[in-house]
Amino acid sequence: MAGIGVITNPHSRRNRRNPKLAQQLACILGEQGTLEMPHDLAALDKVARLFLEREVEVVAINGGDGTNHRVLSALLRVYGEHPLPIIAMLRGGTMNTAAHGLGITGRPQALLGQLTSLYAGGSPLPLTERNLVLVDDNAGFIFGNGLVSRFLEAYYEGSEPSPAKAAWLLTKAVGSALIQGPFVRHLTAPIHAEVHLDGHLWPTLPWTTIGVATVDDIGLGFRPFHEVVQHPGTLQAVGFGCSPMRFAKALPSAYWGRPIDDPAIISGLGTELVISAEGPQSYMIDGDFHHGGQRIHVRLGPRVRLVTLRA
């Protein structure tokens, strides 16, 4: 049995605001597949096993970056050596960074409608491929510690997250950097760690943040990982060991996807990055927070096929 399997996240903010969305998606899907709404990670693993047993060809995810990350992690756990299904991101979350970076546009209903129409008609799906980034059994496309995870922590605090709030926080951070204010000092508190990319030791620097990605766009139009798209089968790691002021000066180059000319900003392509710090480390994958130990091993994951719809 083949078809489309839709996974909708009942806990995402968008889905809570529109409780009828799951029913709308089920109507759009019709006889082309099945819709599942797992309420926890154990239920998500059961859904992944169901899709494997039914040989589902396309898994469509109704959620944002965090939901995509959780679903991809569950699929990897369950599928093991079996080939992963095609993935379609329906942009059903507050943060849809990976989907945006792949050029996917539209609302969940329109994206699923386009997907089911193409599938039912036997038309080829528009596909691109990217490798996953893995930390333990967590899978996604973007990893970051330090400033990246602290910025997201501020993003989720207080008022409802939104692109406007993210832009405001970025403006606040740049302004704080100009006066060495408390906000930027909190964001950029240094991480003392040894960093190895494919076994090669990076310079010893007070790291502000270390990021790894297999997509170039990490949100708000910033493209610090612009090299990775031209080098399939690699991940790109970028470490910022500079002052807040120099970090702020590097932002235009990161935005335009240009090389950053600063000896304290290190970039490289490889397949695994090991960060050995003095104490436990927090990090994020695709906007989802995790607590790690003193040693974090970020490695290249399998290549996945992604539907690039524009509705």
CATH number, domain with residue 62: 3.40.50.10330
37-41, 149-153, 168-172, 179-183: range with highest mean pLDDT: 37-41
Residue 309 maps to a domain: no
- 137 is a domain residue: no
In a shared domain, residues 110 and 255? no
Indicate whether 310 belongs to any domain. Answer: no
153 and 98 in a single domain? The answer is: no
Judgement on whether residues 30 and 112 belong to the same structural domain of the protein = yes
pLDDT in tens, 249-307: 777 776 666 777 778 889 999 999 999 998 888 899 998 888 888 999 999 999 999 99
192-197, Cβ contacts within 8 angstroms, sequence gap of 24 or more: 192/277, 192/278, 193/275, 193/276, 193/277, 193/278, 193/281, 194/275, 194/276, 195/239, 195/266, 195/273, 195/274, 195/275, 195/276, 196/273, 196/274, 196/276, 197/237, 197/268, 197/270, 197/272, 197/273
Is residue 134, in this structure, part of any structural domain at all? no
- Same domain? For 182 and 252 the reply is yes
Residue 120 has pLDDT above 70, yes or no: yes
How far apart are the C-alpha atoms of 18 and 82, rounded to whole Å? 35
Let me know whether 96 and 197 are in one domain: no
Q: Are 209 and 160 within one domain?
A: yes
Give the model's pLDDT for residue 278: 85
Q: Which of 100, 125, 150 is the last residue of a domain?
A: 125
Above 70 in pLDDT, residue 1? no
List the single range of 43-47, 75-79, 92-96, 106-110 with lowest mean pLDDT. Answer: 92-96
Query: Tens digit of pLDDT for each residue in 16-70?
Result: 778 789 999 999 999 999 999 999 999 999 999 999 999 999 999 999 899 999 9
| Number of folded domains that form the chain | 2
Does residue 177 sit in the same domain as residue 117? no
Residue 51 lies in a domain: yes
Tell whether 158 and 262 lie within a shared domain.
yes
For residue 308, tell me if it sits in a domain. Answer: no
Task: List, for residues 190-224, the tens digit of each pLDDT value.
Answer: 889 999 999 999 999 989 889 999 998 877 677 88
User: Which pTM was predicted?
Assistant: 0.86
**136 assigned to some structural domain:** no
**Is a pLDDT exceeding 60 seen at residue 189?**
yes
Question: Does some domain include residue 135?
Answer: no
Same domain for 120 and 165, yes or no, is no
56: domain range? 4-125
